[in-house]
């Protein structure tokens, strides 16, 4: 194997291994906003050995879990008390330099946060946004999308039904006499195509039942047409041959009609004289 082919093979193998071992970062609680002093657990899912959690914040970039922040536990990282300085982007990274998705976490020092999905949601799913305070139960809250008021919910929960790409945007909530939350982005991913076997309905079942009959009728029609195509020329040729034979027979043996007329008196007398002469001549 030449060196170029070997390099290509190594490159393809590395790509396949990276795609196979690609990790995905998840966070608990699953919210893009948390209060100060709340605990957070970050985990690299579908990851092999050597993956760690890193982050970019206002106090450091590409900082690895366990180096100045967090407590590592295998491919996970636990933070017991979040601080507003911990706000930033978090991701998983392997020793080879492969990276996962990035999650943005905002740590609020205020009294209102918007609990929204931290990961992209799928098209067609229902999404619930919760306006939280440090009180036990969510209070009545007003919700905004891209700065535009979209509704008020008495229980602090707003559910978006069957989300689509049009639902993407920056959301926040406001509680009267408490303040408002920071904005969080809601991302919607395209639903992957699925191959399913649908159960036939009554109409489709009847169509399926009528299918053999229709096919049988079509088959019969094709058979009749095939026989006509085969036998019609034969019949036509036979008819032509018989007609030609009859015409030739009439030409070789024509029918002749002879009209017999009775002899006249002169012709009858002449015949009598001839017969008398013949008789006399034989009596010498």
Over the chain (284 residues), the average pLDDT of each successive run of 10 is: 47 44 87 95 87 93 94 94 96 92 95 94 95 88 97 95 96 94 94 63 46 53 60 65 70 47 49 45 42
Question: Tokens representing 168?
Answer: 């993407």
The answer to whether position 79 is within a domain reads: yes
Residues 31 and 94 in one domain: yes
Residues 88 and 144 in one domain: no
CA distance linking residue 156 with residue 211, whole number of Å? 56
The answer to whether position 43 is within a domain reads: yes
Output the CA angle 102-119-28, nearest 5 degrees. 90
How does pLDDT run across 29-58, given as a tens digit for each residue?
999 999 999 999 999 998 777 899 999 999
pLDDT value at residue 50? 83
DSSP annotation string for 217-281? HHHHHHHHHHHHHHHHHHHHHHHHHHHHHHHHHHHHS-----------HHHHHHHHHHHHHHHHH
pLDDT value at residue 191? 84
Task: Give the number of C-alpha atoms closer than 13 A to the C-alpha of residue 49, restricted to the C-beta side.
Answer: 0
The answer to whether position 29 is within a domain reads: yes
Its domain, for residue 92, covers: 21-109
Residues 33 and 54 in one domain: yes
Domain end call among 109, 132, 163: 109
Residues 100 and 152 in one domain: no
Q: Confirm if 42 and 29 have CB atoms less than 8 A apart.
A: no
The answer to whether position 177 is within a domain reads: yes
Residues 90 and 141 in one domain: no
Q: Confirm if 28 and 77 have CB atoms less than 8 A apart.
A: no
CA distance linking residue 154 with residue 133, whole number of Å? 14
The answer to whether position 38 is within a domain reads: yes
Torsion of CA 16, 21, 25, 26, to 10 degrees: 120
The answer to whether position 283 is within a domain reads: no
Question: Which uninterrupted H or E stretch holds 205?
Answer: helix 202-252
CA distance linking residue 210 with residue 217, whole number of Å? 11
The answer to whether position 245 is within a domain reads: no
The domain that holds 47 is classified in CATH as 2.60.40.10
Residues 32 and 105 in one domain: yes
Q: What pTM does this model have?
A: 0.60
| Structural domains in the chain (count) | 2
Residues 48 and 97 in one domain: yes
Residues 130 and 154 in one domain: yes
Residues 87 and 121 in one domain: no
Residues 45 and 78 in one domain: yes
Distances (CA, A) of 213 to 202, 216, 259: 17, 5, 71
Residues 6+ apart with CB under 8 A from 156: 130, 131, 132, 137, 138, 139, 140, 141, 173, 175
DSSP designation for 17? H
Domain end call among 173, 190, 207: 190
The answer to whether position 86 is within a domain reads: yes
Residues 6+ apart with CB under 8 A from 197: none
Residues 93 and 158 in one domain: no
Residues 101 and 29 in one domain: yes
pLDDT value at residue 232? 60
Domain end call among 74, 109, 144: 109
């Amino acid at each position: 194997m030449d060196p170029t082919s070997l390099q290509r093979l190594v490159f393809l193998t590395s790509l396949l291994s990276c795609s196979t071992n690609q990790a995905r970062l998840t966070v608990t609680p699953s919210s893009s906003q948390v209060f100060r002093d709340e605990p957070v657990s970050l985990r690299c899912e579908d990851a092999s050995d050597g993956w760690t959690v890193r982050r970019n914040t206002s106090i450091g970039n590409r900082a690895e879990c366990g180096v100045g922040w967090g407590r590592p536990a295998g491919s996970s990282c636990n933070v017991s008390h979040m601080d507003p300085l911990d706000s930033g982007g978090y991701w998983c990274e392997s020793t080879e330099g492969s990276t996962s998705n990035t999650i943005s976490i905002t740590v609020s020092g205020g009294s209102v946060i918007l609990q929204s999905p931290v990961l992209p949601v799928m098209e067609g799913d229902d999404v619930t946004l919760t306006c939280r305070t440090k009180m036990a139960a969510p209070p009545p809250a007003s919700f905004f999308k891209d700065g535009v008021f979209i509704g008020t919910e008495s229980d602090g929960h707003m559910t978006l039904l069957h989300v689509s790409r049009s639902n993407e945007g920056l959301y926040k909530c406001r509680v009267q006499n408490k303040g408002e939350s920071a904005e969080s982005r809601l991302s919607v991913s395209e639903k992957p195509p699925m191959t399913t076997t649908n159960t036939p309905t009554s109409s489709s079942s009847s169509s399926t039942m009528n299918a053999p009959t229709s096919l049988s009728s079509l088959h019969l029609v094709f058979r009749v047409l095939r026989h006509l195509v085969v036998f019609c020329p034969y019949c036509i040729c036979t008819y032509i041959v018989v007609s030609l034979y009859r015409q030739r027979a009439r030409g070789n043996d024509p029918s002749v009609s002879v009209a017999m007329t009775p002899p006249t008196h002169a012709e009858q007398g002449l015949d009598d004289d001839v017969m008398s002469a013949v008789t006399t001549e034989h009596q010498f």
